[in-house]
Amino acid sequence: MKLKLIAAAAVLAATGAAQAAPIDQGTDGHSDFIFSIWDTTRSYTANLNLQQNVFTAAVAAPGAYSFSRALSADPLFAAFISGANLAELTWNVLAAESLSGRTIHQTYTPGTLPAEAQTATNGRGMVGTIQTFMGRVNDAMAPGGNSVFITSTTAPAYAGNFGCFNNFATQEFNNCGTLANNSVATGLGLVVETYASSGTSRGLFTPLSDGGLPMSVYLDASYNLQMAPVPEPETYAMLLAGLGLMGALARRRQNKG
């Protein structure tokens, strides 16, 4: 297991390659994950082409799951980030299922979840708000596209309208990160919330883990969106020792040359 984790930490599999498709809002009960990032004047939202049920099955399977999306490969993201105020940037990852029960996947800062989730009534409202936003993003996409670059804060698909306390302040925790959440160690967590399809009972929070290790969602310095389990401390130590050895060997070869 540790060897698998080292491999996952060293090289994240590119399972999230971009595909030209609008956001699936859960017509079969499971929506796509979306990534949004914004400052106070513009925003960018991308369909990650990763459905909730596919993600859940992959995390539950043996071995360490990882996902990577090279945002910088998208010209719309390049256009967004070139004029963005980096100090103001805020981002999150969301998905929402609307059939049978109501299920939300979203990012959060580890250690900040409240003791209990919202009522099912509010949970259903949050699912509806997420899906409404997805529809607005789809409406703003160019034909065959899978991302949008919004330059007006009054546009329906401007992600800043959506906010960080998930859906017009009905959520009780911040689901957003900044550019400081840029490594597996400093990344956001990922929680799944489940709500009943009727009634007012409280929903359930389940922070996601892979093999007992919490999932980390982060945006690295090269603007790659990454999802991977946080390695155990001894795994970090082994990985760093290996990288140090590789560096020493490289320096030795350079000195000999």
Question: What angle separates helix 2-10 from helix 233-256, to the nearest 10 degrees?
Answer: 60
> What H or E segment, with its residue span, contains residue 36?
strand 32-38
Cβ atoms of 91 and 177 closer than 8 Å: yes
Neighbours of 61 (CB within 10 A): 11
The 3-state DSSP composition of the chain as helix, strand, coil percent (nearest 5) reads 30, 25, 40
Q: Beta partners for 188?
A: 217
Cβ atoms of 38 and 160 closer than 8 Å: yes
Summarize pLDDT for 67-97 with one digit per residue, the tens. 999 999 999 999 999 999 999 999 999 999 8
pLDDT at position 99? 76
Whole-angstrom distance, CA of residue 159 vs CA of residue 186: 23
Identify which of 7-21, 94-108, 188-202, 243-257 has the greatest average pLDDT.
188-202
CA angle 178, 182, 185 (to 5 degrees): 115
Q: What is the pLDDT confidence band of residue 253, given thresholds at 50, 70 and 90? A: low
pLDDT at position 160? 93
Burial bucket for residue 11 (CB in 10 Å: 0-12, 13-18, 19+): exposed
State yes or no: pLDDT of 121 exceeds 50: yes
The DSSP symbol for 160 reads G
Q: What is the pLDDT confidence band of residue 163, given thresholds at 50, 70 and 90? A: confident
Lookup: tokens for 70:
């090279």
pLDDT at position 254? 55
Q: What is the pLDDT confidence band of residue 58, given thresholds at 50, 70 and 90? A: very high
Q: What is the average per-residue pLDDT within 209-216? A: 95
Residues 6 or more apart in contact with residue 1 via CB below 8 angstroms: 63, 64, 211
Whole-angstrom distance, CA of residue 217 vs CA of residue 181: 8
Cβ atoms of 218 and 183 closer than 8 Å: yes
Summarize pLDDT for 13-32 with one digit per residue, the tens. 333 334 557 899 876 778 99
- What is the number of H-type helices and E-type strands within the chain? 5, 11
Q: Considering the chain, what is the average pLDDT of its residues?
A: 83
Q: What is the pLDDT confidence band of residue 168, given thresholds at 50, 70 and 90? A: very low
pLDDT above 70 covers a percentage of the chain that reads: 79
pLDDT at position 255? 58
